[in-house]
Amino acid sequence: MSSLSRIPGIVTTDHFFRVPLDHGDPGGEAIKVYAREVVAAGRENDELPWLLYLQGGPGGKANRPLGRDGWLDRALDDHRVLLLDQRGTGRSTPATRQTLARRGDARRQADYLAHFRADSIVRDAELIRRQLLGEDGKWSLLGQSFGGFCTLTYLSLAPEGLREAFVTGGLAGLRRSADEVYRAAYPRVARKNAGHYARFPQDVAAVRRIAAHLIERPAALPDGGELTVQAFQALGMMLGSGTGSYVLHYLLEEAWVEGPDGPELSDTFLAGAQAHLSFAMGPLYAVLHESIYGQRSVDAGATDWSAERVRKEFPEFDAAAALAGDGPVLFTGEMIYPWMFETDPSLRPLRETAQLLAERTDWPDLYDTQRLASNQVPVYAAVYHDDMYVDTAHSLETADSVAALRTWITNEWEHDGVRVSGRRVLDRLMRMARGEI
């Protein structure tokens, strides 16, 4: 089934595909995967090469275009673009607290979600490629963040389907366990905190005041969630984007109002915090986050809430200890903690499911290092210097391990560079591919 829509500057076509839940059992249960085809207006009938876009995440649906905006504007100069809602997201068969409840108990839910990692996403993409392009057709690939992780899996499992690949902020460590990922992450997050407080020194006192209040009295959020001091610290997720430090500062500016009994946290602040902390729009991000690092040949054990365990090695992130002294309270970053499944109403019904996934062992490998070492598909990767979300050293280590891969290392952009730069980041990579740089 497909339907066509016209938006200024573009023409879109909806596509729905039936794919196996488990690609190892093609005759078993099937799920639906949605993708939106986008082409420049007036070029609907042109023979254009295809570009598949894989969004960040895990659990992120593809962007919804409003026209020829951002990186899509550059892509549409040369390509017919396919925006994939990765399994479980967007208009694909959804995986949320509401839909997962229909599957039965937490064990059944966890077993179901074990099929929602990068290897399954890539196999979905290959089925779709063959349907749209034919058995021998090849397409280009753009992977942002987790989409870049999926790109490395694609190069490992099915490089024959790719003409070329572009990666932005998504060169994963091929042989790095979850614990190694987080041991590298906490110092990066601390540096982003230092940068924020250098930019807004008044926020040191503002954050300490809010943190001290929340330790004594956690606040109720409008959706029924709870703003604890740890949840407040999790607003540091914003510090990895180009404008996140400013957004955080402006949120803190409006934290307090005078209520009938004195100062209290404002509804404006609480609603703003909820908007950044709630996983209602993307629960798979939380539920599957640490599983994206699981590989049996790297670590046959469980991820076991790695971010929570490793955090204990970095006492500077202890808010109570910071308040006992006179230093700043540090925000955390792209970490998922078990307490989130208590404070967030959209995650509470998935607590046991998430625990079972955290305990799961023997995750299949996602990357074939031997195949990547002899890769022949041209790959062009933007590596952001001191990227808060993906470790630069791990990315460069991977770049050295993948044949036919060229990097562009830049400190002009943060992790969201391809989104906020307009045409510029993708144009640079495409110029590299055309031999212009």
Q: Please indicate, yes or no, whether residues 269 and 379 belong to a single structural domain of this protein.
A: no
Distance CA(129)–CA(136), nearest Å, equals 9
Q: In this structure, what CATH number is given to the domain that contains residue 146? A: 3.40.50.1820
Q: Please indicate, yes or no, whether residues 163 and 76 belong to a single structural domain of this protein.
A: yes
Distance CA(193)–CA(236), nearest Å, equals 8
Predicted confidence (pLDDT) per residue in 359-393, tens digit: 999 899 999 999 999 999 999 999 999 999 999 99
Of 25, 105, 362, 400, the active-site residue reads 362
Instruction: Measure the N-to-C terminal CA separation of the chain; round to a whole number of Å.
Output: 42
Q: Please indicate, yes or no, whether residues 134 and 269 belong to a single structural domain of this protein.
A: no
Cβ atoms within 10 Å, residue 323: 16
**Shortest CA distance to 388 belongs to which of 276, 238, 275?**
238
Q: Please indicate, yes or no, whether residues 317 and 265 belong to a single structural domain of this protein.
A: yes
Query: Which residue type occupies 51?
Result: L
So what's the pLDDT on residue 98?
A: 97
User: Dihedral, CA atoms, 150, 49, 427, 7, nearest 10 degrees?
Assistant: -100
Of 115, 196, 394, 415, the active-site residue reads 415
Q: Please indicate, yes or no, whether residues 49 and 129 belong to a single structural domain of this protein.
A: yes
Which of 335, 359, 383 represents a domain boundary (last residue)? 359
Q: Please indicate, yes or no, whether residues 343 and 355 belong to a single structural domain of this protein.
A: yes
Which of 343, 359, 375 represents a domain boundary (last residue)? 359
Q: Which residues contact 289 (CB under 8 A, 6 or more apart)?
A: 58, 336
Q: Please indicate, yes or no, whether residues 380 and 299 belong to a single structural domain of this protein.
A: no
Distance CA(316)–CA(5), nearest Å, equals 52
Cβ atoms within 10 Å, residue 435: 6
Q: Please indicate, yes or no, whether residues 374 and 278 belong to a single structural domain of this protein.
A: no
For the chain, residues with pLDDT lower than 50 are none
Q: Are 403 and 376 in contact (CB under 8 A)?
A: yes
Query: Which residue type occupies 313?
Result: E
Cβ burial of 332 (10 Å; 0-12, 13-18, 19+) is buried
Q: Please indicate, yes or no, whether residues 192 and 150 belong to a single structural domain of this protein.
A: no
Q: Please indicate, yes or no, whether residues 85 and 112 belong to a single structural domain of this protein.
A: yes
Q: Is 334 left (phi over 0), alpha (psi -120 to 50) or beta?
A: beta
So what's the pLDDT on residue 401?
A: 98
Q: Are 304 and 357 in contact (CB under 8 A)?
A: no
Which of 359, 379, 407 represents a domain boundary (last residue)? 359
- How many structural domains are present in the chain? 2
CA 129 to chain CA mean position, Å: 23
Distance CA(156)–CA(375), nearest Å, equals 8
Q: Confirm whether 394 is a catalytic residue.
A: no
Q: Where are the beta strands (DSSP E) in 77-198?
A: 80-85, 139-144, 162-168
**Shortest CA distance to 52 belongs to which of 118, 181, 178, 144?**
144
Q: Confirm whether 395 is a catalytic residue.
A: no
So what's the pLDDT on residue 2?
A: 62
Q: Please indicate, yes or no, whether residues 62 and 153 belong to a single structural domain of this protein.
A: yes
**CA distances to 189, 198, 209, 328 from 202, in Å:** 19, 9, 11, 11
Q: Confirm whether 415 is a catalytic residue.
A: yes
Q: Which domain holds residue 44?
A: 4-174+367-433
Q: Please indicate, yes or no, whether residues 386 and 290 belong to a single structural domain of this protein.
A: no
Of 145, 245, 291, 401, the active-site residue reads 145
Q: Are 8 and 69 in contact (CB under 8 A)?
A: no
